[in-house]
Structure 1
Amino acid sequence: MHTHTAALRRAAQISQHHIFPRTLLITIIFFVLMYAFYFLTGLKNMTDYKPTAFYPHWKKKQPPSMACGVPVENDPIINVTNLKTYMVSSYIEHRQKVKMIRTIAIVLRSENAEYNCLLCCNGRTLPVSANYSIHSDHFGFEYGTADITCQIPEMCPTPTHVAITSRSPKEDGSLQDIHAFQPIRNQQKQEVFPYEFTVCISTMFDYVNILMLVQAMEMFKILGVQRVAIYKTSCHPVTQKVLNYYVRQNFVEIIPWRVSSYINVSRGWKKSVSPGELHYFGQIAALNDCVYRYMYQSHYVALQDLDEFILPLNLDNWKELLPELERKYNLEVGFEFENNFFPVSMKDPRPKYSPDSWKKVKGVNILEYVYRLSNDPTRFNDFKVIVNPRLVFTTTVHGFLQSMNGSVRVNHEIARMYHLRDIQRDDVVTHFHIRDTRLRDYADRLIPAVSKVLQKVLGIY
């Protein structure tokens, strides 16, 4: 009996010895097949998908590039050591008699700082004294946009990077420390440009108007735009998904705009209504940066917002409009397009212009607004501009502070700006309402283009 029991126990042990590896092998094969299935189906469904576009943290962290032994920071903003000064970007200024570096900056106006440019030249640093001027359009806020300029010395004809420092030396007499260099852009003056029209959008924060974003991008394309530069602080996750799509198309450039991490920014232009230390998220600094960033990349730049559409009334697009304006007014000026408000409280929904699929998307449908408020011809009416950026030295929200030949107001019967906005009720009541369906003339091209993007990016049918 004992012998029989021992034999059974040994048989069970042998059986378990053979079953366990077999079970393990089957489990391993199962997981390998599952992984292969998901990998292959993932490739099939994500042919244009770039993981780093949606999830930047997937990127393998690269060591920072270095210049003269110091890390290089390509994005705005760099705080100048021991000062309330923030470098935005630096450019070679080719249009002056003396070649110089122009750094666009945001400064505390009351600080009265003195600056040096610290140049990186062939692996060695060279300090050069700098001058600065604060732009007059600061709207009474403590901080304002400024230009910090320094001449390029003969012993350093091609500096590649710059840092701004305080001219005041440290207690031991040495120069102030720097923690980052900034690349100097526009090294070469160009005559041929990759883009005909670039739109500068400043600034995007807490942006949730997803439908209008897609409509704006597709309207820009219809009008002849090849590039849109967006200075972005924050937006809705779905907005970011749409932006990523246009970045992959090489249609949008996102410039990270982190001014609010350093300065208490206002959410409006009027300090008494929108408190803060800097006007409207540093909008003016962003606009000036865009002019210089695209100075030798784009024939024209348009300085506007996403809810604004500059439309020719008798022509189809900007490619037809701008040569006509240059013949009529002057080749070497900026062009002002008068603002016309379309209150979002006055809707004109029509099934033809309001696809059911669009109603699933957060945001305003620009084709539903056809009531324009009349402008008073005896009063000043705001405008936005399209300009050859090489004519501009400093810009502001409406027009230029310094340019070669100024700007002209385009006759509103030739072109005007359509501006969709939430208008105060008193303003709506006191103005005439004019039915203006010009935007709908683009509907046959706009509707299928927008629907295609919503399907492709958001899966909305």
Structure 2
Amino acid sequence: MLPQFKNEQNKTPLPNKGKEKPLPLMPCGMKVQKNPIIKVSNLKTYMVGSYIEHRQKEKMIRTIAIVLRSEKPEYHCLLCCNGQKIYVTATYDIHSDHFDFEYGTADITCNIPDKCTKPTHVAITSRSPKEDESLQDIHVFQPVRNQQKQEVFPYNFTVCISAMFDYRNVLMLVQAMEMYRMLGVQKVVIYKTNCNKDIQKVLDYYTRQQFVEIIPWTIASYINVSRGWQKSETPGELHYFGQIAALNDCVYRYMYQSHYVALQDLDEFILPLKFKSWTELLPELEKKYSNFGGFEFENNFFPLSINDSNSKYSPDSWKKFAGDNILEHIIRIRNDPKEFNNFKVIVDPRLVYKATVHGFLDIIKSTVRVDSQIARMYHIRHVPKERLASTFQIQDTHLRDYADSLILAVSKVLQEALETEHISD
């Protein structure tokens, strides 16, 4: 039974630091790279993040990786344990949701030997320890996270945003951050490839407040990434900037830092209909769906092409900033109940083994679709004209229930982060 959530959306609790001694600058005499991406020498394998796996009988290290699926490597882990280097044979498992791209997300795992009481860093190699040149292939260690299995978490809700690239929607970014605050989110993790200078100013603003963590996402420097999920329409070697690997890394990165993680995009808002925040909603969902580990929220499209620019919800001071105003979009496309409708999730990360874009490939407790009269996802994006012409449209103004607080908060951030500087298209 999770503790009662506190509604402190304007306060960002800090993780409990100082329990563990700082790691040496050169553990086992090697450099350390904390951020993704680390290329494995002689292979088309890229390390994303490494984590202690506490949920198996045998203690192991799980490394989230991006691999060339056609390669059949024999992996080994080089562990740094108590200042000593130890080789361990590794196994790997490629996730099934690669969408037929050449590269896919994989788990590389190695058991931790008894003599290794604390593996602080790991490197992956394709050579066996018998080969004299094996160490020459390894140039950098990755820190092993999740050293301790925690039961008390600094955050109630963390939002994972994957694959930010070429992003320039300043107004929606600020609106999203402030909506998340009002909903009770205490940390937003963004896997960023690139953005313009004005977006960077906003990200810096929220990073200084310790509300946002930016994970540098440089996979496009190594692999020809696709900008979509269908290879036939968006060519490349890896699905959508490696989105799935980023989502899996975020789940593991915050597994012992957050009660729940939400996997979603910046144009998506999971809104309760009978409450104002996730802080109020989630205890009710826990009661109603007590046998489930996560909650699916039905996707509902609000087309950007249909807008209501009511001056009450469109302050003049916002008009000089690039981007879309979510308060102007109040027309929802009705979902066909006879068809499958996509969703995004809020989940207990300690139950997840493999995450994908919509849901999970491997989870200890299954997820449940939340009644759309309790909560649903508001997805504000471009919708093809042909779909608009063939669907029923409904006026839905629920987002505007947050307008009074949202307008004040967004205006303040735009002023403080961008100093009323004009942002061009």
Q: TM-score, normalised by structure 2?
A: 0.92
C-alpha displacement of 1:460: 2.2
Q: CA deviation at 1:426?
A: 0.2
For 1:441, what is the secondary structure of its paired residue? helix
Amino acid at match of 2:253: R
Decide which structure has the larger Cα Rg and report it.
1
Q: Hey, which bits of structure 1, 4+ residues long, moved more than 6 A?
A: none
Tell me the CA shift for residue 168 of structure 1: 4.9
Whether 1:119 aligns to 2:79 is yes
Task: Return the alpha-carbon distance in structure 2 between the equivalents of residues 188 and 169 of structure 1.
Answer: 29
The one of 279, 283, 286 aligned to 2:246: 286
Q: What's the CA shift for 1:456? A: 1.0
Equivalent of 1:257, from 202, 217, 242? 217
Match of 2:125 in 1: 165
Q: How far did 1:169 drift?
A: 6.5
Distance 1:197 1:360, change over 3 A: same
Match of 2:156 among 178, 184, 196: 196
**Alignment map for 1:241-390 (pairs within 5 Å):** 241-330=201-290, 332-390=292-350
Deviations 1:381-433 (A, max 9, x none): 11000011001011000000000111100000000000001111001111100
Corresponding position of 1:225: 185
Is residue 458 from structure 1 mapped to residue 413 from structure 2 by the alignment?
Answer: no
User: What is the CA–CA distance in structure 2 between the aligned matches of 1:179 and 1:428, rounded to whole Å?
Assistant: 54
Secondary structure (helix, strand or coil) at the match of 1:68 reads helix
Q: Deviations over 1:298-324 (max 9, x none)?
A: 010000000000000011100010110
Equivalent position of 2:407 in the other structure = 447
Secondary structure in structure 2 of the residue aligned to 1:265: coil
Give the letter aligned to residue 203 of structure 1.
A
Alignment partner, residue 21 of structure 2: none
1:213 counterpart (149, 155, 173)? 173
Letter aligned with residue 332 of structure 2: R
Contact 1:81–1:176 (Cα < 8 Å) also in 2? no
Amino acid at match of 1:239: I
**% identity of equivalent residues:** 71
* Other structure's SS at 2:282 match: helix
Q: Report the Cα distance in structure 1 between the residues aligned to 2:50 and 2:193, rounded to whole angstroms.
A: 20
CA contact (8 A) 2:127 2:134 kept: no
Question: Does the C-alpha gap of structure 1 residues 414 and 237 become closer, same or farther in structure 2, counting only changes over 3 Å?
Answer: same
CA RMSD in angstroms, aligned pairs only: 1.3
In the alignment, the residues of structure 2 paired with residue 447 and residue 131 of structure 1 have an alpha-carbon distance, to the nearest angstrom, of: 51
Where structure 2 has 5 or more consecutive residues not aligned to the other structure, the ranges are: 1-23
Code of the residue aligned with 1:304 in structure 2: it is: Q
What is the rounded CA distance, in whole Å, between the counterparts of 2:132 and 2:201 in structure 1?
Answer: 52
Question: 2:380 aligns to what?
Answer: 420
How many angstroms does 1:65 deviate by? Answer: 2.7
**Distance in 2 between residues matched to 1:172 and 1:455, nearest whole Å:** 60
From the superposition, tell whether residues 100 and 172 of structure 1 become closer, same or farther in structure 2 (CA, over 3 Å).
Answer: closer
Alignment-derived partner of residue 396 in structure 1: 356
SS of 1:184 mapped into structure 2: strand
Equivalent-residue separation in structure 1 for 2:39 and 2:254 (angstroms) = 24
1:86 aligns with 2:43: no
In the alignment, which residue of structure 2 is the partner of 1:35? none
Measure the CA separation in 1 of the matches of 2:211 and 2:133: 49
Higher relative contact order (CA 8 A, sep 6+): 2
* 1:217 match: secondary structure: helix
* Aligned-partner residue type, residue 147 of structure 1: D
TM-score w.r.t. structure 1 length? 0.85
> d(CA) in 2 for partners of 1:222 and 1:122?
44
Do the aligned partners of 1:228 and 1:252 also contact (CA within 8 Å) in 2?
yes
Q: 1:187 aligns with which of 121, 129, 147?
A: 147
Q: Does 1:131 align with 2:99?
A: no
**In structure 2, what residue type is equivalent to 1:267?**
R
